[in-house]
């Protein structure tokens, strides 16, 4: 999720090097940087950071869904009840 956040984050050009480093680490870091910016700049930064974070959450959710589906399929194939055959009559 962090890798996706960092890769997807489009930081505004007006940030200093230190602000860029902090904002690119985590959503909390971007929020911390935004508290020291003017209203429009803070909103722009948080919009970009929120979008990147939401993308990371979506990716992690789809991966979790896929892994859960694989686990369900494995369990279904390995834990099936044995077929009961009718008793033969003599």
Q: Is the pLDDT of residue 90 over 80?
A: no
Give the pLDDT score at 61: 96
Assessment of whether the complete model's pTM goes beyond 0.75: no
**Distance between CA atoms of 3 and 10, rounded to whole angstroms?**
13
pLDDT, tens digit, for every residue of 13-59?
A: 999 999 999 999 999 999 999 999 988 999 999 999 999 999 999 99
How far apart, in whole angstroms, are the C-alpha atoms of residue 39 and residue 34?
9
Q: Which of 65, 72, 73, 28 is nearest to 49 (CA)?
A: 28
Buried/exposed 17-31: b ≥16 CB within 10 Å, e otherwise:
eebeebbbbebeebb
Greater model confidence, 89 or 73? 73
Residue 83 pLDDT greater than 80, yes or no: no
Question: Across residues 56-78, what is the average pLDDT?
Answer: 95
Q: So where are the chain's domains?
A: 2-78
């Amino acid at each position: 999720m962090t890798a996706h956040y960092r890769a997807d984050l489009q930081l505004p050009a007006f940030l200093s090097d230190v602000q860029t480093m902090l904002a690119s680490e985590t959503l909390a870091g971007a929020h911390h940087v935004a508290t020291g910016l003017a209203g429009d700049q803070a909103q722009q930064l948080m919009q970009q950071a929120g979008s990147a974070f939401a993308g990371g959450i979506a990716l992690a959710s789809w991966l979790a869904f896929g892994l859960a589906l694989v686990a369900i399929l494995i369990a279904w194939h390995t834990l099936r009840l044995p077929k009961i055959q009718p008793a033969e009559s003599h």
